[in-house]
Amino acid sequence: MDADTLELAGSHGRLFVRRWSVRSSVRVVVIAHGIGEHGGRYEHVAQRFADDGATVYAPDHAGHGRSGGEFGHIDDIEQLADDLGLVVDLARQENPGLPLVQVGHSLGGLITTRYLQRNGTDGLAALVLSGPFYGNPAYEALLGMDPLPEVAIDTAVLSRDPAVGEAYAADELVYHGSGDRQTLTAIFDAVAAVKSGPKLDAVPICWVQGEADPLALLDVTQAEVERLHGPEFEAHVYPGAMHEVFNEINKEEVLDDVSAFVVARA
């Protein structure tokens, strides 16, 4: 797997994209990361896809990682969906004729869902949703508070592996501050748009979720995924797992499940 980076002109200036390439690739994967983090945290996921013959792209959303925009701030999820579309278009242009798979984790699942609801799923071989954020009453209630309380992500909610939280806390490309009101408003506006938007029933969907995820709550997420999916659907809920199932103590099991789904459909 060869790693390099590139830049596109995105909604907030520089859109930083990591690309992991393999010779004679047989499919393409585009990964959308979660809130506060960046695409570089998915190198091990990209490696697994690459082992199966995929070239992988992972942008840093605006306001995240090395991309432009105010660090840790989101103006509008629809702008991030536009940026994701630029990466999808690039992946198609650089790999003509290859099946395309999209993967969205947490906020990235929300962004990916909005992108597909707006643009359709034609030409998409498969969709993987990892703990997609489709709402959480506790976080939505913050919008009714003035002043907005400072609430940053507790690393303990990420994984049962303490090393994951330690690496997250030490990562300078991760935003460690509290979310602002506009960011929360943008997220919940997009949540509402997803729930009133069209189904994604024409594309095979694999949903992976931690049973104990305190951010993307199991019951909330399951209800929306059940509404969205069509006849080709797999669900994997991992007992005791937290929010980042790709970084959990059973991550090899998760990657095996996702890999098998992707290879079978792309």
Q: CA nearest 112: which of 29, 183, 173?
A: 29
The top-level CATH class assigned to 2-265 is alpha beta
Q: Does 73 qualify as catalytic in the annotation?
A: no
- The active-site residue, picked from 82, 83, 213, 257, is 213
Q: CA nearest 109: which of 76, 75, 135?
A: 135
Contacts (Cβ under 8 Å, ≥6 apart) of 183: 72, 73, 74
161 burial (CB, 10 Å; 0-12 / 13-18 / 19+) is middle
Q: Does 213 qualify as catalytic in the annotation?
A: yes
Per-residue pLDDT band for 152 (boundaries 50, 70, 90) equals confident
Mean pLDDT of the chain: 97
The tens digit of pLDDT for each residue in 2-39 reads 999 999 999 999 999 999 999 999 999 999 999 999 99
pLDDT beyond 90 at 264: yes
Tokens of 172: 């300078």
At residue 128, the 3 state secondary structure works out as strand
**What is the DSSP code (8-state) at residue 260?**
H
What is the mean predicted confidence (pLDDT) over 57-66?
98
- The active-site residue, picked from 106, 130, 229, 257, is 106
Q: Record the pTM.
A: 0.98
Which pairs with CB-CB distance under 8 Å and at least 24 residues apart come from 176-181? 176/36, 176/152, 177/72, 177/152, 178/149, 178/150, 178/151, 178/152, 179/35, 179/72, 179/151, 179/152, 180/72, 180/73, 180/148, 181/143, 181/148
Distance CA 256, CA 262 (A): 10
Q: Does 24 qualify as catalytic in the annotation?
A: no
What is the mean predicted confidence (pLDDT) over 192-212?
98
pLDDT at 121: 97
